[in-house]
Structure 1
Amino acid sequence: MSAPAPLPELPVLPVTFRPTRTRVVLLTVGAALFAVLVVVALLLPALTAGERSVFMITGLFFFLVLLLLSRPKVVAAPDGVTVVNLTTTRRLEWAEVLRVNLRPGDPWVHLDLADGTSLPAMGIQPGIAKAQAISDARTLRALTEAYGTGQDAA
């Protein structure tokens, strides 16, 4: 039986966890797609002004969707945790977070809450950077254990 992984050192708060590589990929693809559609709209001589604007608006729409997909993050501060998902933001006190879960195959971290529910925290996801997500989940778990007991971890 192997020894459990050592708990990470607690970072100085506030700390933000987000899938940085995924965010870079999404924003780069969105900007490139928008640029290509604008260039195509401007270079095709057979297009009317309305068709050109539709090309540009479509490029802007795709960019905005990818921007929305790059939004998730988890911010740990001395007074609690803020979970920003695609369209929602939820502020939690440390005592509300009972457990931080990232099981094999999970698309992101889940927080078990004191009210008996579970909250997805999409800001920590193992998609492209699995090792970073595991490290972030361990750090958030250590912060939850340190601050969630009602004691200062400073």
Structure 2
Amino acid sequence: MSDLPTLPVTFRPGSTRAVLLTAAVAIFVVITAVAMLLKQLSPAERLSFVVTALLLDAVLLLLARPKVVADEDGVTVVNLTNKRRLDWAEILQVTLRPGDPWVFLNLSDGTSLPALGIQPGLARQRAIADARALRALAEARSVADPERSQG
């Protein structure tokens, strides 16, 4: 039990997130600078450059959003466009097989939920450690939850 992370704990792809946020800032600065430096552009055209940079940044920020937050009561999975709250009893298995793009949570309703907050993209060893930690938490919480064994 001492190996378990202290709750609450947030898992997220730190390296990927850093790259995406850095790219968002760089894209905004470069496109805005180009818009301001091109003298032949009208104010409306300059504004369209800035709006385009903001739209690109919105996509990058959306890609940087995924995370998995575990607390005493369960897990919150935040993916690109949705957020789902799960009780510990709902999580039957945490899997990250070789070649998987992210962790999958096998749920008590027979479905599988991708958890994009743990992905081996740029930091494979970190993702494996995070998946193991989440698996250990899920297993420890299932033993502590007597209703889970009845489901």
What is the aligned-residue RMSD (CA, Å)?
Answer: 1.4
1:128 maps to amino acid: L
- Choose from 7, 15, 29 the match for 1:13: 7
Q: Is the 8 A contact 2:68 2:115 kept in 1?
A: yes
Letter in 2 for 1:54: S
In structure 1, the partner of 2:68 is 74
Distance in 2, Cα, partners of 1:40 & 1:121: 38
2:129 corresponding residue in structure 1: 135
Partner AA of 2:139 in structure 1: E
**Number of residues paired by the alignment?**
146
- What percent of counterpart residues are identical? 62
* Partner AA of 2:109 in structure 1: D
**What does residue 4 of structure 1 align with?**
none
Q: Does 1:85 align with 2:72?
A: no
Q: Distance in 2 between matches of 1:19 and 1:56?
A: 28
Q: Which residue of 2 aligns with 1:58?
A: 52
Distance 2:137 2:144 in 1: 12
Alignment partners' CA distance in 2, 1:115 and 1:35: 46
For the Cα contact (< 8 Å) 1:126–1:134, is it kept in 2? yes
Using the TM superposition, give the Cα deviation of residue 149 of structure 1 relative to its aligned residue in structure 2, in angstroms: 2.4
Is 2:20 aligned against 1:29? no
Q: Distance in 1 between matches of 2:65 and 2:143?
A: 30
Q: What 5-or-longer segments of structure 2 have no aligned partner?
A: 147-151
The residue number in structure 2 matching 1:122 is 116
Partner-residue secondary structure (3-state), 1:148 = helix
Amino acid at match of 1:117: T
Relative to the length of structure 1, the TM-score reads 0.92
Mapped contact 1:80–1:94 kept (Cα < 8 A): yes
Alpha-carbon distance in structure 2 between the residues aligned to 1:95 and 1:18? 22
Per-residue CA distance 1:23-45 (angstroms, 9 max, x = gap): 00001001100100000011100
Which runs of no fewer than 5 residues in structure 1 stay unpaired? Answer: 1-6
- Which whole-Å deviations, capped at 9, do the CAs of 1:78-114 have from their partners, x for residues lacking one? 1000000000000000000000000000000000000
